Amino acid sequence: MRAVTFDIETANAFPTLGRGDISRMDVSIVGIHDSETGLLTSYTQEEFGQLWPIIERADMLIGFNSDSFDIPILNRYYPGDLTRIRSLDLLTEVYKVLGRRVRLQSLAEATLGVGKSGNGLEAVQWWQEGLVDKVRAYCLDDVKITRDIFDYAIKHGKLKYKDLGGAREFKIDTSAWTQKQGPASITHTLPF
């Protein structure tokens, strides 16, 4: 099964747009890990022509808060409908178990023993300052963390998060995560 783990960074943020209005957010960078090649790569809007064929060949997209944030924003740029590709949103999976949202930073620190290299607001600021390589590095760091959390959950059937009392562990059912569900059904940018 070919899985593409991904994350987007935006060129603007909620404080400048109005709380929760993602319809006006612009993508600065998309970072991906392609399970078929093992490569971590990133793309600006001008490079999306190279990204779409990789996404279209994926059996599944893996992200964190991707169903309600990354996919809807990225879908505005895609000539088809990214929601037609199977998606695994790790935040949604954690919410199903815990009944609440947990930050990626909290999962990364408790599960993997690593922290994030920044946050989304810093990435917006870096982008606006022209620090494109810094945004790329931060985005790819989040992709790697997301992929490592996915792999840890598959291997151990559990994850951990930081809470006021320290790290808490919880079981998570990953049995359906790696089951192939038929071929990808979109080819809007691939040559025929």
Domain coordinates in residue numbering, the chain? 3-171
> What are the tens digits of pLDDT across the range 84-99?
999 999 999 999 999 9
Over residues 114-139, the mean pLDDT reads: 87
Phi (first) and psi of residue 64, to 5 degrees: -130, 115
CA proximity to 92, closest of 21, 179, 176: 176
Q: Which tokens is 149 given?
A: 């959390």
> What are the tens digits of pLDDT across the range 37-87?
999 999 999 999 999 999 999 999 999 999 999 999 999 999 999 999 999
Q: Which tokens is 18 given?
A: 């109005």
pLDDT of residue 17: 47
Q: Is the pLDDT of residue 134 over 90?
A: yes
- 3-171: CATH topology is Nucleotidyltransferase; domain 5 (3.30.420)
